[in-house]
Amino acid sequence: MESIRATLEQAIGLLVELARADVSRLDDESLCQTVGAIEQAGRLVDTLRTRGASEIDARSAYEAGNAGLAQRHGHTRGAHLLEQLTRISPAEAARRARLGAAIRPDVALSGEALPARFPLLADAMIAGTVGTDAARMIITCLSQAAATAAGGSIDAAERALVDTARAEPAEIVAVHARVWREALDPDGAEPRDEAVRRRRAFRLGRERDGVTPFTGVADPTLASLFRTAFVESLAPGATPRFMDETDARAGTTSSVTRDGEIIESVRDPRTPDQRRHDILTGMLTAALRNANAHAETGQIGSLRPTATVMAVITLAELRAGRGVGWIDDHDEPIPAHAVRKLACEGGVTPILLGDNGEVLHLGRTQRLFSPAQRRALAVRDGGCVWPQCSAPPGWCHAHHVTEWENGGRTDIDNGALLCPAHHHMLHASEFTMKMIRGKPRLLAPPWLDPAQLWRPLGRTRATMAATL
């Protein structure tokens, strides 16, 4: 006990000294290396936090009664004692205790020592190579699948996810974890989806000073419809939409050329929140007009949807009615029967993949990629393919991997989605991209990757699931 406290006091003293260091004096390479080392130190501290929290929670178990650690300090639960000791929120105290319990060795009733529920993850956290954000997602998803999946499958998934977490950001790890969960327990998606549906809600408040607040919780389909509409209308360079006359006048400027020609340009004067409000108003207005036209004439109204949502699923899973589909910009999947229902209702485009995650070949002789080709690229790439970029498909350019000027075809097998910033970076830097077996791969310059490995690109969930 004394040695642990003494070591901690020494470490705290060193960290205080480091916190006072002037990192502005570091050169670029040293700064990058230092930030990486700082993060590893932070991960180690987070591991100590979770282990300490789980130990307090274990010693405060309900079965211990008045002899429990929390009871002896005047608290009913270990999380409350931890909150007092650390001055963290109750929610954070509970999160630390749950995470620590998953990586904490256990003891059987016979007194025999048992390994942690996730021993590989525990070792990685103790080594400081995996952080708590990624660890929580791994534990959550594998725990959800553990009820029906075989133990060996859970072990394989843990090993793969820990390897991913050592190399990728927590957001990417979360995507992989959900894909593994659905591969291990495809039947579990249906009850999870039903639980989500039951939580859907919309509440309109009372009008105050001319404005009316509203709140609610959207199910996956509605959330994806909203996000897709917002992304398309708020994308960089997009033409302003759903502006009333007042905003249009405020954002219109005129200039006169040397030839006396008057040129008008429109700049959207609205804030992003105001634009989203007006997009939602426009969508509701369009839906009401269509409904009225259908009621009066029996024909569908002239207005068409302003956004296309894609639900991606393999053909085999759609036919069997099992497995899951993945909706644009939504983390959690939906069951196969829900995808079939959406396809019947309209407003959502189902994209079918083969057993290996391949998409339909849509070769063209034209210079620009067609809308159908861009949808296929969105399915395969999931957005900007640049590592760790989260730009959605609607914000991306369709890039010719082999340039059109160099004989490159406008074809799925020669296209990749890149956001404007990374599209420019690819052309202006020494990064190289090429297609390998129908998928884009990236080669970093030698000073960034001495091993010179072609890194696979893309982050679509359905294709990942097909490879498991």
Whether residue 112 is contained in a domain is answered as yes
Assigned domain for 459 exists? yes
> Does residue 52 sit within a domain?
yes
Strand partners, 415: 400
In a domain, 268, yes or no: no
pLDDT of residue 106: 78
Domain finish residue from 194, 222, 248: 194
pLDDT score recorded for residue 302: 42
Cα(454)–Cα(445) distance, integer angstroms:
11
pLDDT tens, residue by residue, 88-144: 998 899 999 999 999 998 766 666 778 889 999 999 999 999 999 999 999 999 999
Residues with Cβ within 8 Å of 103's Cβ and at least 6 positions away in sequence, in order, are 50, 51, 54, 116, 117, 118, 121, 122, 125, 135
Structure tokens at 258: 């040397």
pLDDT band at 188 (very low <50, low <70, confident <90, very high): confident
pTM here? 0.68
**In a domain? residue 425:** yes
Local confidence band at 300 (pLDDT 50, 70, 90 cut-offs): very low
Report pLDDT for 364: 33
Looking at residue 304, its pLDDT comes to 43
For residue 179, the surrounding DSSP H or E stretch is: helix 170-184
Last residue of a domain, one of 177, 194, 211: 194
Domain containing 56 equals 28-194
| pLDDT given at position 114 | 82
Task: Quick: pLDDT tens for 39-58.
Answer: 999 999 999 999 999 999 99
Question: Which pLDDT tens digit goes with each residue over 231-261?
Answer: 777 777 677 777 777 777 777 777 777 776 7
What pLDDT, in 10s, does the model give residues 416-438? 999 888 888 887 788 999 988 87
Tell me the CA distances in angstroms from 219 to 205, 284, 333, one per residue in order: 20, 18, 11
For residue 289, the model assigns a pLDDT of: 66
Sign of CA dihedral 379, 382, 383, 384: negative
**Would you state the pLDDT for residue 26?**
92
Total domains in the chain come to 2
Residue 270 lies in a domain: no
Picking from 273, 389, 393, 281, the residue whose alpha carbon sits closest to that of residue 327 is 393
Using one digit for the tens of pLDDT, what is the confidence trace for 147-178? 888 768 999 999 999 999 999 999 889 989 99
Q: For residue 130, is it within any domain?
A: yes
Among candidate residues 160, 194, 228, the one where a domain is terminated: 194
Residue 279 lies in a domain: no
